[in-house]
Amino acid sequence: MSFLKEIERRRTFGIISHPDAGKTTLTEKLLLFGGAIQEAGAVKNNKIKKGATSDFMEIERQRGISVSTSVLAFIYKDKKINILDTPGHKDFAEDTFRTLTAVDSVIVVIDVAKGVEEQTEKLVAVCRMRKIPILVFINKLDREGKDAFDLMDEVEQKLGLTVTPMSFPIGMGYDFQGIYNIWEKNINLFSSDSRKNIDDVVAISDVQSPELEKIIGQKPADELRENLELLTEVYPPFDRQDYLDGKLQPVFFGSALNNFGVRELLDCFVEIAPSPRPKESETRLVNPTEEKLSGFVFKIHANMDPKHRDRLAFVKIVSGTFERNKPYLHVRQGKNLKFSSPNAFFAEKKEIVDISYPGDIVGLHDTGNFKIGDTLTEGEQMSFKGIPSFSPEHFRYINNADPLKAKQLDKGIDQLMDEGVAQLFTLEMNNRKIIGTVGALQYEVIQYRLEHEYGAKCTYENFPVHKACWVKPTDPKSEEFKEFRRIKQKFLAHDKYKQLVFLADSDFTIQMTQSKFPNVKLFFTSEFD
């Protein structure tokens, strides 16, 4: 198959949702359709169990299997599908943000009864910022839920999207009869006796046909006709370019658990979802069709066995081909590296691969060369735009609890930060280290891993910070900036890229600081240029 054809057939995407909306179930059903697994329940559950918020061993268990579910690949209708796993737990939102830099599109799963939830809002905001094409799947139609029109309204309001329904439910919950597929112009009947039948599709070329009453009954037929009429008045028709540009979001309805509406979603997805897209580097836009390899690390996974310190760096290929044993430039370190056993992912297995294409993810064994965000090329001095850090929500001093193991502690902290477990800030005034995390759970994970993988012990101490603000003065030499530095010196720190950060104790402080120093700009993410 030609290089261009290989690129064209790839669909690399992520499924995002608020926990419990049905992401795992949908992923599993997609794998079933792709023939990647044979039976439901085969996908290892990498979810952190409910109520396990204080149980960090659960996180270790989850980490143990998450290598195998990091990338789930399969072939469907000759398309190579790569699903990049994103952790649902909110304490790991940062991991999800990073994974979103490696996807070419996303599917957002929404629970029909709960509607748009908090985690979905945050994740979709990031997708919108990056203009990632979004497809919406409204799940659990077999249950009572919100009215379909109200839900689409809510999606538009809360998520800031412009939707176009591709299917529409006929009834809901107890009265749920099936789905009218606007895209394919047919009715997919939900069979209530087995609740498993997925092939009951009736072609209806014209909804005005009296056939409709015969199939679903008079009242539901009238309602469906009315609803479809209303839909065409209220919502714009599907336009693929608008979808690809992030301006229009198709909506599907279904029930992942019952395998209902999933085939329609997948069939439409492989048709309309983008193949690998060009990616902005710091110097230029890189096109997937370029002959020379480029790619970047978006995730690092440490080995679970402390005796083997190697890690797996996940590289998204942006352009060219990645070949086994060929030397590539590690741009940040300025050295050439060869990889004798790059891993590709297929279903839940990983295997050594000779050649990979744009859109694919390769797993590289690493002994400490890589950090998240690193770029590989065939010699060009180029870096992909940084993976942004967001302000953490928790901050604590980290102290060494075993003076004989100071080196181990430093190394451990360094490597865990490279992996992206948390963010490190070093106070300018006294070099004390502060760990910032999205969730409180990470502190236990860090403590546990430092001890078990690096033989170091740590304690924490509270540090009352509300937000980390990245600082950018209009003029670094100005008196105003000097004054800012003098007054705020106790709260100034550096992140791991040596960028200046102001650790503010409240929103009020941030407001006051902004009005007092209007030429010193404060940002809540590290990507502000």
- Binding ligand G4P (rule: CB under 6 A), the pick from 255, 281, 408, 442 is 255
- Closest distance between ligand G4P and the C-beta of residue 217, in Å? 23
Contacts to ligand G4P from residues 61-90, by CB under 6 A: 88
- Closest distance between ligand G4P and the C-beta of residue 46, in Å? 9
> Binding site: which residues?
17-24, 85-89, 139-142
Asked if 83 contacts 14 with a C-beta cutoff of 8 angstroms, the reply is: yes
What is the β-pairing status of strands 186-189 and 201-203? antiparallel
- Closest distance between ligand G4P and the C-beta of residue 197, in Å? 15
- Closest distance between ligand G4P and the C-beta of residue 94, in Å? 18
Exposure string of 109-141, with b = 16+ CB inside 10 Å and e = fewer, is: bbbbbebbbebbebbbebbeeeebbbbbbbbbb
143 binds ligand G4P (CB under 6 A): yes
- Closest distance between ligand G4P and the C-beta of residue 240, in Å? 27
Tokens for 387, please give them: 């993976």
Q: With CB under 6 A as the contact rule, which of the stretches 97-105, 256-264, 421-429, 496-504 interacts with ligand G4P? A: 256-264
- Binding ligand G4P (rule: CB under 6 A), the pick from 3, 8, 19, 186 is 19
- Closest distance between ligand G4P and the C-beta of residue 219, in Å? 24
CB nearer to ligand G4P: pick between 20 and 290:
20
Query: Which own/partner contact pairs does 506-514 have at CB distance under 8 Å and 24+ positions apart?
Result: 506/466, 507/466, 507/467, 509/466, 510/466, 510/467, 510/469, 513/484, 513/488
- Closest distance between ligand G4P and the C-beta of residue 97, in Å? 17
Asked if 40 contacts 32 with a C-beta cutoff of 8 angstroms, the reply is: yes
Query: Total number of residues binding ligand G4P (CB under 6 A)?
Result: 18
- Closest distance between ligand G4P and the C-beta of residue 199, in Å? 18
CB nearer to ligand G4P: pick between 167 and 423:
167
Give Cα 395 distance to the centre of its chain.
Answer: 24
CA dihedral 503, 509, 511, 515 (to 10 degrees): -100
Contact residues for 362 (Cβ-Cβ < 8 A; gap 6+): 295, 314, 315, 317, 322, 339, 342, 343, 344, 353, 356
What is the β-pairing status of strands 423-427 and 178-181? unpaired
> Binding site for GTP: which residues?
17-24, 85-89, 139-142
For 150, other C-beta atoms within 10 Å of its C-beta total 11
- Closest distance between ligand G4P and the C-beta of residue 202, in Å? 21
- Binding ligand G4P (rule: CB under 6 A), the pick from 7, 10, 14, 21 is 21
Q: Round the CA-based radius of gyration of the chain to a whole number and report it.
A: 25
Q: Order of strands, edge to edge, in the sheet holding 71-76?
A: 71-76, 79-84, 10-17, 105-111, 134-139, 249-253, 163-165
CB nearer to ligand G4P: pick between 126 and 353:
126
In angstroms, the CA 179 to CA 220 distance is: 12
- Binding ligand G4P (rule: CB under 6 A), the pick from 3, 8, 44, 47 is 47
CB nearer to ligand G4P: pick between 22 and 133:
22
CB nearer to ligand G4P: pick between 86 and 281:
86
Angle between the 118-129 and 148-159 helix axes, to the nearest 10 degrees? 60
Q: With CB under 6 A as the contact rule, which of the stretches 12-20, 91-99, 278-286, 341-349 interacts with ligand G4P? A: 12-20
264 binds ligand G4P (CB under 6 A): no
Q: Name which of 7, 72, 14 is nearest 346 in CA terms.
A: 72
Residue 405's SS3 state is helix
CB nearer to ligand G4P: pick between 15 and 161:
15
Q: With CB under 6 A as the contact rule, which of the stretches 67-75, 180-188, 252-260, 291-299 interacts with ligand G4P? A: 252-260
- Binding ligand G4P (rule: CB under 6 A), the pick from 12, 25, 275, 513 is 25
Residue that the structure tokens 């029109």 belong to: 149
Asked if 388 contacts 523 with a C-beta cutoff of 8 angstroms, the reply is: no
CB nearer to ligand G4P: pick between 141 and 456:
141
17 binds ligand G4P (CB under 6 A): yes
End-to-end CA distance of the chain: 40
- Closest distance between ligand G4P and the C-beta of residue 25, in Å? 3
Contact residues for 262 (Cβ-Cβ < 8 A; gap 6+): 26, 29, 30, 33, 198, 254, 256
What is the β-pairing status of strands 71-76 and 201-203? unpaired
Asked if 321 contacts 120 with a C-beta cutoff of 8 angstroms, the reply is: no
Residue 475's SS3 state is coil
In angstroms, the CA 78 to CA 81 distance is: 9
In the stretch 212-251, what mask flags binding to ligand G4P with x, by CB under 6 A?
----------------------------------------
- Binding ligand G4P (rule: CB under 6 A), the pick from 23, 279, 311, 316 is 23
CB nearer to ligand G4P: pick between 190 and 502:
190
- Closest distance between ligand G4P and the C-beta of residue 28, in Å? 8
CB nearer to ligand G4P: pick between 261 and 274:
261
Under the rule (CB under 6 A), what is the footprint of ligand G4P? 17, 19-25, 47, 88, 139-140, 142-143, 255-258
